[in-house]
Amino acid sequence: MVNFNYCNPARIIFGKDTERELPGQIEKYGHKVLLHYGGGSIKKTGLYDKIVGILNEAGIPFVELGGVQPNPRLSLVYKGIELCRKEDVDFILAVGGGSTIDSAKAIAIGVPYDGDVWDFFDNKLVPHVTLPVASVLTIPAAGSESSDGSVITNDTLNLKHPASSEEMIPKFTIMNPENTFSLPPYQTACGATDIMAHLMERYFTTVGHVDVTDRLIEGTFRTMLYNTPKVLRNPNDYDARAEVMWAGTVAHNNLFQMGRIPDWGSHNIEHELSAIYDIAHGAGLAIVFPAWMKYVYKTDIKRFVQYAVRMFDVDLSFADDEEIALEGIRRLESFSKSIGMPTRLSDIGIGDERIDEMAEKAVMYGPLGNFKPLYKEDVAAILRLAL
Ligand code: NZQ
Ligand code: ZN
């Protein structure tokens, strides 16, 4: 295990009707709220009316900004910053998924900053001063509800970059599994894929003696293998939705990363895909991750054998370690297909035209990943394996 220093201050308020706790929590941090949301799903489900009713009843003033798109855009972040300054907003409540929460976090670091908020996403500065942010989560996926990061798409430059700092962790998150019943199957599956990818990015480490976190990751991964098909069969299965929702948070609140060096190569490659083709992050990961695995498994074949055996019960009677490792990768791909995810770029109509451009952009700040550092030619080779 490598040394670590762990603190995740995000309060998680979990269960039915927990939106009722909003006023008591908000009053700890601010006086005037920006209510930030996406393309309208919360209006269709009635969650918007419920939250507005709760804020009005408690006499909490708010202004609102909807319209966050999946792969949240910098242009809307600029609008949010302007609105918060004009209206003296001192607290941001994101109601939605990773895109809305990430957009809220970006607005929150932009308001107190005199320069261009993109500086934080362009590796120039680390944000330390921010308005407080909280969320009401509607899709278990990105883990942004308790993560220290935000990923924003610069819609002028076609770049999608992360920024992170401990100060960006939301103060609290309301997680009511009932708010996820309305998710369409595709979004459910994209979310599940992202959760499982967050687990795998941490699982594939070269650090030894990480048994506690190995076992936590394996248990959560297997929970996803079991419960994802259940929620797809019955979207209103509260218990299964609750398992997936909690899995999404623990997969990305960094607890499972402690003592380990995570990889993150697949995520960074996926960000290039969603920056250019505007695909869902989870769908991109279902394509990139197996290709990454096929490219790197020989770096530490024993870890891939452990993955195959412990995650997918691959039988040790396979001919040799290589066969076991490859069977683990095959089973991941068949699971992805079984939940309706693409596993090849060709499944979503993407060819090799822009592979070199994506590879070049992916390494603009240096090589990617830690399990096996990836240079431009490696990234291009992985994307070709994904064709
Ligand atoms: O916009 P609305 O109308 O709300 O619809 C959304 C959106 O179309 C819909 N949706 C969400 N909850 C719903 C619902 N539809 C019906 N019922 C509900 N209850 O789902 C669609 C996707 O929403 P989005 O917020 O984009 O999904 P997700 O949570 O997967 O977020 C993806 C973004 O998070 C970033 C990704 O790169 C991507 O941009 N990530 C953020 C991370 C972080 N901050 O720590 C880490 C992740 O690895 C990831 O990179
Ligand atoms: Zn992710």
* In a domain? residue 77: yes
Instruction: Find all residues with CB under 8 Å of 251, minimum gap 6, and list them.
Output: 143, 195, 196, 198, 199, 220
Q: Ligand 1 atom 49: the closest Cα is on which residue?
A: 142
Tell me the ligand closest to 103's alpha carbon: 1
CATH number at residue 345: 1.20.1090.10
* In a domain? residue 339: yes
Q: Ligand 1 atom 25: the closest Cα is on which residue?
A: 97
What is the 3-class SS of 69-106, one letter each residue?
CCCCEHHHHHHHHHHHHHHCCCEEEEEECHHHHHHHHH
Q: What is the pLDDT of residues 23-67, one digit of tens each?
A: 999 999 999 999 999 999 999 999 999 999 999 999 999 999 999
Q: Are residues 255 and 108 in the same domain?
A: no
What is the helix (H) or strand (E) element at residue 133, kind and residue range? strand 133-137
Q: Ligand 1 atom 41: the closest Cα is on which residue?
A: 142
The Cα–Cα gap between 146 and 168 comes to 9
At which of 111, 146, 179 does a domain end?
A: 179
Q: Are residues 138 and 219 in the same domain?
A: no
The Cα–Cα gap between 63 and 92 comes to 10
Best mutation site among 102, 200, 236 for ligand 1 pocket (most ligand atoms within 8 Å of CB) = 102
- Contact residues of ligand 1, CB 6 A cut-off: 38-42, 45, 70-71, 96-100, 102, 138-139, 141-144, 147, 149-151, 179-180, 182-183, 187, 190-191, 194, 252, 267, 281-282
Ligand 2 centroid to Cα of residue 32, in Å, is 31
**Structural domain total, the chain:** 2
Q: Are residues 241 and 229 in the same domain?
A: yes
Q: Are residues 133 and 201 in the same domain?
A: no
Q: Which residues pair with 160 in a beta bridge?
A: 153
CA 104, chain centre distance (Å) = 15
Atom of ligand 1 nearest to the CA of 191: 30
Q: Which residues pair with 13 in a beta bridge?
A: 174
Atom of ligand 1 nearest to the CA of 38: 1
Q: Ligand 1 atom 8: the closest Cα is on which residue?
A: 70
φ and ψ of 151, to 5 deg? -125, 120
Q: Are residues 85 and 63 in the same domain?
A: yes
Domain membership of residue 194 as a residue range: 183-385
Q: Are residues 165 and 226 in the same domain?
A: no
Tell me the ligand closest to 196's alpha carbon: 2
* In a domain? residue 333: yes
Ligand 1 centroid to Cα of residue 132, in Å, is 20
* In a domain? residue 6: no
Q: What is the pLDDT of residue 169?
A: 98
* In a domain? residue 205: yes
Q: Are residues 231 and 155 in the same domain?
A: no
Best mutation site among 139, 179, 202 for ligand 1 pocket (most ligand atoms within 8 Å of CB) = 139
Q: What is the pLDDT of residue 369?
A: 97
Q: Are residues 319 and 192 in the same domain?
A: yes
At which of 179, 214, 229 does a domain end?
A: 179
* In a domain? residue 327: yes
Ligand 1 centroid to Cα of residue 96, in Å, is 7
The Cα–Cα gap between 283 and 312 comes to 21
Q: What is the pLDDT of residue 316?
A: 80
Atom of ligand 1 nearest to the CA of 140: 29
* In a domain? residue 352: yes
Q: What is the pLDDT of residue 217?
A: 98
CATH number at residue 165: 3.40.50.1970
Atom of ligand 1 nearest to the CA of 148: 45
What residues of the chain score a pLDDT lower than 50? Answer: none
Q: Are residues 97 and 151 in the same domain?
A: yes
* In a domain? residue 2: no
Q: What is the pLDDT of residue 27?
A: 97
The CA-atom distances, in angstroms, between 61 and each of 36, 87, 173, 258 are: 14, 10, 20, 40
Outline where the chain has alpha helix (H): 22-29, 41-45, 47-58, 74-87, 98-110, 118-121, 185-203, 211-233, 238-250, 265-277, 281-296, 301-312, 321-338, 355-362, 376-385
Ligand 2 centroid to Cα of residue 310, in Å, is 22
Q: Are residues 122 and 50 in the same domain?
A: yes
At which of 179, 194, 215 does a domain end?
A: 179
Best mutation site among 41, 168, 175 for ligand 1 pocket (most ligand atoms within 8 Å of CB) = 41
Q: Are residues 200 and 154 in the same domain?
A: no
Ligand 2 centroid to Cα of residue 97, in Å, is 12
Q: Are residues 269 and 355 in the same domain?
A: yes
